[in-house]
Amino acid sequence: EQGAPARTGARIFCVANQKGGVGKTTTTVNLAAGLAKVGQRVLMVDLDPQGNATMGSGVDKRKLELTIYDVLLESASVAEARVHSDKCGFDVLGANRDLAGAEVELVDLERRERRLREALGQVADSYDFVLIDCPPSLSMLTLNGLCSAHGVIVPMQCEYFALEGLTDLVNTIKQVHANLNKDLQIIGLLRVMFDPRITLQQQVSDQLKAHFHDKVFNTVIPRNVRLAEAPSYGLPGVVFDPAARGSQAYVEFAHEMVDRIKTM
Ligand code: ADP
Ligand code: MG
């Protein structure tokens, strides 16, 4: 029963953290845009019923005829439901509020936690990277993401309780690794919204490196207002204002990920 996502084809990553407002969506869309910018073929999957990653990739979630909801319920394939974002240079498997119902509908269905993985398997050869923006919970939706992925990218702010907050996520990842997806690993912790002038953030950052060593990405994403403004224009910061410090940091992160998958 245990299996792993296919070795060939796209490397698949979940951007996950059960806390809300920690920069998951910002990281997903900007990493997707950064990877596209450096020539990678990218599919961005929105697993959050809020649809922020969809809207933030230049795709109007209200106008989508097919979404990830249809893929999870197996009434559409990924190839049918994906759309291309011309502005951003990557494909989008979008979400809207329909997805909120999937949680309940999936409970009684067979292979309920493997549906995304099976669906993505059919398009894996078309991409170098698949990035999955997870909702702020450890729900059936997030479980579908974790079952699909080779690795988890965990964005986090360097706050006082940051380490404590990781425990539940780390335990869930361990369980999924043991029971459902033996390829799953934490690829890395990404320090986001970082302000080096705040002593506490510097201290927490040092603690993170002491506990997690090379599981902490080298790239640090600064707090940058342009990244926060970009979604209201329906774009990732990397596309909206490529010169902004935050955008440059995400492109640097894209390079780090391209290097990272060479050793996976
Ligand atoms: P999540 O998806 O985890 O809920 P978001 O990516 O939506 O988090 O980010 C939460 C808020 O923080 C958003 O308003 C976003 O624009 C803002 N934000 C995220 N990253 C940064 C950053 N590096 N600098 C400034 N604001 C940021
Ligand atoms: Mg989000």
**What confidence tens digit (pLDDT) does each residue in 12-58 have?**
999 999 999 999 999 999 999 999 999 999 999 999 999 999 999 99
For ligand 1, pick from 26, 44, 158 the residue to mutate: most ligand atoms within 8 Å of CB.
Answer: 26
Report how far residue 38's alpha carbon sits from residue 116's, in angstroms, rounded to the nearest whole number: 27
Could you give all domains of the chain from N- to C-terminal order, each with its CATH number? 11-261 (3.40.50.300)
Tell me which residues have their CB closer than 6 angstroms to ligand 1.
20-26, 52, 136, 192-193, 221, 223-224, 227-228, 231, 246
Q: How confident is the model at residue 263 (pLDDT cuts 50, 70, 90)?
A: confident
pLDDT at 2: 52
- Percent pLDDT > 70 in the chain is 97
Q: Which residue is closest in CA terms to ligand 1's atom 21?
A: 193
Position 161 pLDDT exceeds 90: no
Nearest to 254 by CA among 86, 85, 32, 44: 32
pLDDT at residue 8 is higher than 80: no
Range list of H helices, the chain: 24-37, 52-55, 68-72, 78-81, 98-106, 115-121, 140-148, 162-179, 199-212, 225-229, 237-240, 245-261
Please say if the pLDDT value at position 63 is more than 60.
yes
Angle at 128 between CA 143 and CA 237, to 5 degrees: 80
Considering the chain, what is the average pLDDT of its residues?
A: 94
**Ligand 2 centroid distance, CA of 76 (Å):** 24
pLDDT higher than threshold 90 for residue 101: yes
Cα(228) to centroid(ligand 2), Å: 12
From the CA of 224, give the closest atom in ligand 1.
24
Lowest mean pLDDT among 7-11, 15-19, 137-141, 150-154: 7-11
Of residues 160 and 69, the one with the higher pLDDT is 69
Q: Which residues contact 20 (CB under 8 A, 6 or more apart)?
A: 136
Q: For residue 220, give the nearest of 191, 255, 246, 247 by alpha carbon.
A: 191
**Is the confidence at residue 6, as pLDDT, over 60?**
no
Tokens found for residue 73: 């319920």
pLDDT above 70 for 5: no
240 falls in which pLDDT band (50, 70, 90)?
Answer: very high
Span 62-85, mean pLDDT? Answer: 98
Average pLDDT over residues 197-211: 93
CA quadruple 178, 2, 257, 78: dihedral sign: negative
